[in-house]
Structure 1
Amino acid sequence: MNELDDFRAALRQPPEEPFAEPDLAAIMAGGRRIRRRRRLLTGTAGVAAAAAVVLVVVFAIQLRQPAPAPVAQPPAPATSAAPAPTTPQPVEQPIGDVVGTGIRTTDGEIVLYARAVDAPELPGIRFGLVAGFRSGTSLQSVLATNEFRGSDRSFGFHATDGGEVIRNQVIPVFGYFAGPAERVTTTVHGRTVEAKLAKWSADPGVVFFWFNPDEVPNSAVLTPLIAYDADGKRLTK
């Protein structure tokens, strides 16, 4: 008998202590518990990660807090202090006349007016335009814009803005033209649209313009603006 035969004979020998029969019910129950735990960990992984971040942040905040004083100090007696005087904020004064657009809203008529600009980084800019609401004698500004380079009265279009929805109302696209413009147009979806115009009372060489929001809902639909003089000659390229 060789070594291979000895190994085979050893395999055929019964064990000295018989193995107990497997507890199938316990194994299945354990398997269900493992599978359920994996599903819960999968479902709560994001929550656990968020909780860990919160704990880290809270701990960091606690570390930054000063240590409590060893002896509690009695509260200071309450004293009455007069409220600090409030300085009324100056109301922005329009430069020249306020121009009504004829667009009525629940907050009043949408208007345009010029305002002073005093910014050291903009030495050539002395005024800008404001769109606002006028109701009776009340004037509320909602959108201000101005030129940001060169001169505010250099020939051409300036400070074109608008098209935003403010207080559930579309503020018309507006701006001004420095020069003898008598007509301003643009093209929206292939159709020519004409702007309303008003000369600035402080300088008739500056013309405010605005478009009806129904025709020009926002500045994104504009093609380049075109200005014409009184003879119909095109002032801009």
Structure 2
Amino acid sequence: MTDLDTFRAALQQPDEGRPPAIADIMRAGRRLRRKRRFGYGAVVAAALVAVTAVAWPTTAPPATVWPAAAVDAEGSWGQPVATGLRSGKHEIVVTAFHNVNQAYPDITFGVRACAADTSGKLGPCHNQFDDVAPDRSPGFHAIGLPSNLDYVDLPMYGYYVGPATTITVDSRGRTVTADTAVWSEDPEVVLFWFDFKDVYLKPDKTHPNYKKQKVTPGELPDVANWSAYDESGRKLPLGKPFVIG
């Protein structure tokens, strides 16, 4: 019998001319109140444990990002950008560099794709600067072909001046989209690069020109129809998208 049943039985005892069993009724009531207080405390404790588990989860260690402590990586003007691409044990970054070539006084900077390590060391690097148009004129600049330096594969990359959020080019018969990042030193300058699977140097053995022993689009990427769009989808000026080898 539960304490509640005992309490009810005490209340319902026939008096048979006797006063009610007050002591029994009070004892049953005290037992019932103690039990209810214990049950409520157990529920609250369980709820607190559950809230604590949600509010204070075990924190996993943060993912390693490049560069570990190299905001000022040697040979870089501004913050290098991790592309997410790798070649062997190297991570690939894109960044800018100071151009001090006196033959081009209006070209103050160029861009580079580099192998990098977590210490901030850059190299080898593929460097490009635009000798066709002023470095901050609207449009595409300093587009470098995919390359291999010291056994490190580097992607096709370049920069765009203007509010570009989407950059595309036609390659191997399809339109591919670049990854982009705003240069840390000038919000008008957008660095861009292409995934190896989209634009690369390896011969395309499925192309008809390969069987004809001609230069294939894989050996020298057939890139055309450069385009840049802002966040609203408006097409932006091309400038002079000259591809540099």
Instruction: Provide TM-score, normalisation by structure 2.
Output: 0.56
Cα distance in 1 between the residues matched to 2:143 and 2:117: 25
Deviates more, 1:206-215 or 1:158-167: 158-167
Amino acid at match of 2:174: R
1:135 to 98, 108, 117: 117
Distance 1:186 1:227 in 2: 9
Shift of 1:92: 4.2
Per-residue deviation, 1:169: 3.6
CA separation in 1, counterparts of 2:106 and 2:230? 26
Would the aligned equivalents of 1:130 and 1:141 in 2 still touch at CA under 8 Å? no
Query: Which runs of 5 or more residues in structure 2 are unaligned?
Result: 1-72, 202-219, 239-245
Q: Give the Cα separation in 2 of the matches to 1:114 and 1:230.
A: 24
CA distance in 1, matches of 2:114, 2:221: 21
Give the CA RMSD over aligned residues: 1.7
Q: CA deviation at 1:171?
A: 1.2
Instruction: Map residues 22-171 of structure 1 onto 2, 5 A cutoff.
Output: 92-137=74-119, 138-171=121-154
Compute the displacement of 1:217 (Å): 0.9
Corresponding pairs, count? 147
> What's the TM-score, normalizing by structure 1?
0.58
C-alpha separation in 2, matches of 1:117 and 1:143: 14
- State the 1:212 CA deviation: 0.6
Is 1:194 the counterpart of 2:177? The answer is yes
d(CA) in 2 for partners of 1:162 and 1:153? 21
Larger Rg: 1
Residue 195 (structure 2) pairs with residue 212 (structure 1): yes
Residue 230 (structure 1) aligns with: 231
Distance 1:233 1:150 in 2: 23
Gaps of 5+ in 1: 1-90
Shift of residue 227, structure 1, vs aligned partner: 0.3
Q: How far apart, in 2, do the equivalents of 1:156 and 1:210 lie?
A: 15
**What is the deviation of 1:121?**
1.1
Match of 2:187, SS state, is: strand
Partner of 1:182: 165
Q: Identity of aligned pairs, percent?
A: 35
CA offsets, 1:29-59, max 9 Å, x none? xxxxxxxxxxxxxxxxxxxxxxxxxxxxxxx
Give, in whole Å, the separation in 1 of the partners of 2:124 and 2:178. Answer: 22
Cα pair 1:159 1:175 within 8 Å, conserved = yes
Of structures 1 and 2, the one scoring higher in RCO (CA 8 A, sep 6+) is 2
How far off is 1:107 after superposition? 4.1
User: Which segment is superposed worse, 166-175 or 207-216?
Assistant: 166-175
